[in-house]
Structure 1
């Protein structure tokens, strides 16, 4: 299994040497001569803080050295992350449209079913076009080679870097205006940009452009879909 240096992204054969339980020595990168991955000895909270601060080395640690495709539980983790991503996205759609809908005990079963049907189609259609436009943007805007555009690598990067969606859970406890959703979307966009830069090793401007295109396609599609559904009703 090959790992990467979190500082420069250079391939390394091993991250540490274990002499005895609890006694390890961190390996250094042959390229930059720095410790290949200092996060091995850090608490999880340190990694989370660096992810929130958008530090590329934290993303390299998580994507390449922790959640690589060679790990035993990669497939299960991928599906669980995808399920959580879709659930949070569904709640986002519900939260945005909640003030426009008539919620209450007086709602008919048909109205209840219609709202959740629109939400389901919104999530599936929006994320399908989001991933398709993401792939096209990577190939055309970033012009990276095919080995960087494998679907599983891209999906893993998108899911991990969309962790800001978890803050949507706070709206279940406290009341927030719908505008807070768009603030979270901006954080997700910036986090996707960092993750894409780590995987493709492209420039920041090109990564911002690719992510912006994908998010714009998703936003316009979902907005158009809800407008059409409101007209048909």
Structure 2
């Protein structure tokens, strides 16, 4: 841990720090009493909750509401900053979600972290905290999450696809794996995730691709690995999801 701060409770921010982990590190399942705002300055993390799986690429942030059971997996060496926010503060979107981090938001997070040991409740510090919390709701969401079903049979299927997004086996195979008829599987999967299996798997593939490209892997090899027949088809899907080509996404 590089720096840590325990801030006074007259403002919603309770603590802030910067830390780094090696590739492959797994932070086991746990929950916090207060909300967590985490910003990835470098590296790629996977954050799993009971209800969804998220990719946190570099220069994006994630909001984790208080009491959310979650696990973090580092796909590469990671440097990140964390701000713990009193549970009384609730942004408009209080669900766990990944969002863009503007230059202003990144600077404000850095300033809150830099207050370690020097917080004196002056006007500047108060303004920084208020601006930080106000910026959260202004940031657009990044579509790098996949909803997970509650049904254990469906969840096993989802976990298998998350482990190998390039697996192209069809819905009949996965229905058999779940011990369901095709019709029951299709209806149950849509009821629990809000989308069909093909759409859900496409989302997982583009999430996986975003994380691997952000970690520096070649776009062409990633396209084939996650199940696309050609780089052009992959680029088209990536652009529809993120509004940018893979190379532009990395530059951004």
Normalising by structure 2, report the TM-score: 0.27
> As a proportion of its length, which structure holds more strand?
2
* Structure showing greater Rg: 1
> As a proportion of its length, which structure holds more helix?
1
